[in-house]
């Protein structure tokens, strides 16, 4: 099966290990990986900031980049959902709406792809530690991926999983929200960190790079002995 990787900006610039783990994991599951070098940002930050006309040009570039893909897999629920949003943004456009609909139909978040398309719930990973999982807003509420990451985590040998209290609450990142509403965002992420601490987890895991950057950054500033990891890093672990 040929998979085209949509890496995302945050993975490309800040979390390259997540991209590496995603590729290695998918290859181990029998996928052939393709990576279009013309891919750029999905346009979510500028679109959410109101720059609709300008962002449409970015979106067109992305649709062209992934037009020949069989399956598109993304290690970020938020960015994967943005590809699904294109069909609504280009609704009524005789040229781009059909292309956007086709893009949405073949775009999957990483754990969603593994469970729903590859039909795998145990990837053969081994990772020792106490783990809790943060359910990111876009991935859970909009993309509708809820069970896949939990199924995969629970089947990792050595993982001691504890459900996160108030898991439905936002971590306070929200893309540009954390910049525009810094003080509110800080209070939200403080609540999230407190919930993580209450589980006695050694690791807080998520499938969204933005959430991990926000939660992990706050944990570091508070000097807490907890590590933020992307789920791909755990699923790719053979330790």
How far CA 137 is from CA of 53, 134, 180, 230, in Å, comes to: 26, 9, 18, 16
- Cα separation, 189 vs 207, whole angstroms: 17
pLDDT of 134:
97
pLDDT digits (tens, 9 = 90+) for 14-69: 999 999 999 999 999 999 999 999 999 999 999 989 999 999 999 999 999 999 99
How far CA 94 is from CA of 66, 100, 104, 107, 144, in Å, comes to: 19, 11, 16, 21, 28
pLDDT digits (tens, 9 = 90+) for 191-239: 999 999 999 999 999 999 899 999 999 999 999 999 999 999 999 999 7
CATH architecture of 121-236: 3-Layer(aba) Sandwich (3.40)
- Cα separation, 37 vs 201, whole angstroms: 38
Which of 232, 236, 183 is CA-nearest to residue 212?
A: 232
Tokens of 176: 């540009």
- CB-based contacts of 50: which residues, under 8 Å, 6+ apart? none
Torsion angle in degrees (nearest 10) through CA of 165, 166, 167, 172: -130
Long-range contacts of 185-189 (CB under 8 A, 24+ apart): 185/214, 186/218, 189/214, 189/215, 189/218
- Cα separation, 34 vs 65, whole angstroms: 11
Tokens of 53: 């006309």
Q: Does residue 94 sit in helix, strand or coil? A: coil
Mean pLDDT across the stretch 62-86?
A: 97
- At residue 39, what are phi and psi to the nearest 5 degrees? -65, 145
Q: pTM for this one?
A: 0.95
pLDDT of 179:
77
CATH 3.40.50 region(s) of the chain? Answer: 121-236
- Cα separation, 70 vs 4, whole angstroms: 7
State whether the Cα torsion 8-27-139-162 is positive or negative: negative
């Amino acid at each position: 099966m040929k998979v085209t990787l949509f890496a995302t900006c945050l993975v490309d610039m800040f979390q390259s290990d997540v991209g590496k783990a995603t590729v290695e994991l998918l290859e181990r599951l029998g996928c052939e990986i393709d990576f279009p070098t013309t891919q750029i940002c999905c346009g979510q930050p500028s679109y959410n900031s109101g720059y609709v006309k300008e962002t449409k040009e970015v979106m067109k570039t992305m649709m062209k980049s992934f037009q020949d893909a069989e399956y598109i897999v993304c290690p970020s629920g938020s960015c994967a959902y943005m590809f699904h949003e294109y069909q609504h943004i280009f609704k009524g456009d005789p040229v781009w709406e059909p292309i956007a609909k086709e893009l949405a139909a073949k775009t999957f978040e990483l754990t969603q792809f593994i469970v729903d398309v590859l039909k795998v719930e145990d990837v053969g990973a081994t990772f020792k530690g106490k783990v809790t999982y943060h359910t990111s807003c876009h991935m859970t509420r909009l993309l509708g991926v809820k069970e896949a990451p939990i199924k995969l985590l629970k089947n990792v040998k050595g993982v001691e999983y504890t459900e996160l209290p108030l898991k439905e609450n936002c971590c306070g990142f929200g893309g540009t929200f954390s910049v525009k509403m810094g003080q509110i965002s800080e209070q939200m992420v403080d609540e999230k960190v407190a919930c993580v601490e209450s589980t006695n987890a050694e690791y807080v895991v998520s499938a969204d790079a933005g959430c991990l950057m926000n939660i992990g950054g706050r944990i570091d500033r508070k000097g807490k002995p907890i590590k933020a990891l992307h789920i791909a890093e755990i699923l790719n672990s053979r330790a």
